[in-house]
Structure 1
């Protein structure tokens, strides 16, 4: 029988730290639901980022996952996960590191997934990094602040639609699959959270094309109130739009994923971006 999470937290003095974006999810019913949203984990190698006291870690260990690799930067939480690892030898692996500086694909073999309640302050950069190597992942099941989750899944012509939506939906099938109220966390955040499921498409852009898409979306949404002929000017706006056959009087939020794909391909070709 595992020690109750609240007792473990008290014993280790693990108070959530705002600087680390920490909000601990302790309800075993919710963590079990999140683990289940990752699908059948039989034979899968799961990476969890920011396990904290290990609530979701426990749920993943209750699943049929082959291995769970927990990546944690907080030394206090590292001690807790190290204790848990002794109870699951060979199945739970602990990596004490900053996930933003790690290539997580090197931590476990395929088929691999990420299942994580991401620290609020690094969730978006972590996701963009994983999208760059989407072909390496079978699925990403990630919790974000509700606002970020809605931006990932936003449709064109909506207020939330922007660079993150384009990058995510260009590389993955995205769905907001669970909403979680502030009261489920300790301490409660000021906003709702949500779990997003991202399943990579079978065909993925090569690194050069991904870089082109990053440049196009950064320019297009950098000044989203401007028409495209103005916002894309730093990367050859008029010529780029002419090559893609897109009206320069439109604004970025009106373009769908296919149109951004065309812009990125034209930009990569015109710039001769190396693979």
Structure 2
């Protein structure tokens, strides 16, 4: 019996189902169920929520989410080897776990979820950033999710919460902080995982804002930010010269110095520039 439910410890589950982690699938399993329950608690009160989990593997975080009272968990798992172990979790928590086999980048989960919805996942390293960008850039805002509680490599987590002037500050920070409150809520060393990755990991919690922090057209903002950071060592007047023939005037009208560089500009500043570009 494990520390959080009547199911076997995860090491025993992995051994009985031959679930050695595969590097090709970005798998690193968390085996400490007290730790997975702690991560689940970072997602807040789940008793009235459906939870979307990506890459549950042998079910460590899944069990944490269910033990912490999640109304229902939808787990999307690409590795068919994990399905029997997840079926055992489903049997232990009747009618509260649905498992879909497939690629999270290709599956629309909304048909299987009832709002309010939160996302909690130990994301596979190879798809984590792409999924986050998708969740932050839907066609309509607010999004389907109330919050995201996600594990990343520490370097990626620091990029999400980075502030202007830091080397980590870039497109990911602006995407996240324009539409959400983002903070790192846990740090995990490599030895917490099996097998241990070469890097440390962090859990980031993002809460969706009801509307973006500052007004801006999403497509124009995305274009401005991408151009600015694609040549982040250049001054804005050079990096953004393709935006408009009078880009220096647009920069000044937005309250920005043409000689500044992208990493010096706040989210508010980029939004002001996007509005100026739209007006021109």
Deviations 1:50-104 (A, max 9, x none): 1011000000010121100001111112332133223323210111121122333
Is the helix fraction higher in 1 or 2? 1
Distance (Å, rounded) in 1 between the aligned partners of 2:99 and 2:117:
16
Q: Which moved more, 1:29-38 or 1:4-13?
A: 4-13
Relative distance call for 1:69 and 1:229 in structure 2 (3 A) is same
Give 3-state SS (helix, strand or coil) of 1:233's partner.
coil
1:96-135 to 2 correspondence within 5 Å? 96-133=101-138, 135=142
TM-score (norm 1): 0.92
Which of these residues, 140, 143, 146, is aligned with residue 151 of structure 2?
143
Corresponding residue number in structure 1 for 2:219: 211
Deviations 1:215-260 (A, max 9, x none): 1111111111011111112332446425524222110000011111
Aligned length: 269
Unaligned runs of 5+ in 1: 271-275
After TM superposition, the structure 1 = structure 2 runs for residues 182-193 of structure 1, keeping only pairs within 5 Å, are 182-193=190-201
Q: TM-score, normalised by structure 2?
A: 0.90
- The corresponding residue for 1:91 is 96
Q: Deviations over 1:142-180 (max 9, x none)?
A: 110000001101110011101100110111111111100
Cα drift, residue 201 of structure 1? 1.1
- State the 1:268 CA deviation: 4.2
Native 8 Å contact 2:52 2:117 kept in 1: yes
Indicate the SS of the match to 1:234: coil
CA RMSD of aligned residues (A): 1.9
Gaps of 5+ in 2: 1-5
Correspondences of 1:176-255 after superposition (within 5 Å):
176-204=184-212, 209-236=217-244, 237-238=247-248, 240-255=250-265
Separation of aligned partners in 1, 2:266 and 2:221: 13
Q: Which residue of 2 aligns with 1:168?
A: 176
Q: Which residue of 2 aligns with 1:273?
A: none
Q: Does 1:9 align with 2:14?
A: yes
Matched, 1:256 2:261: no
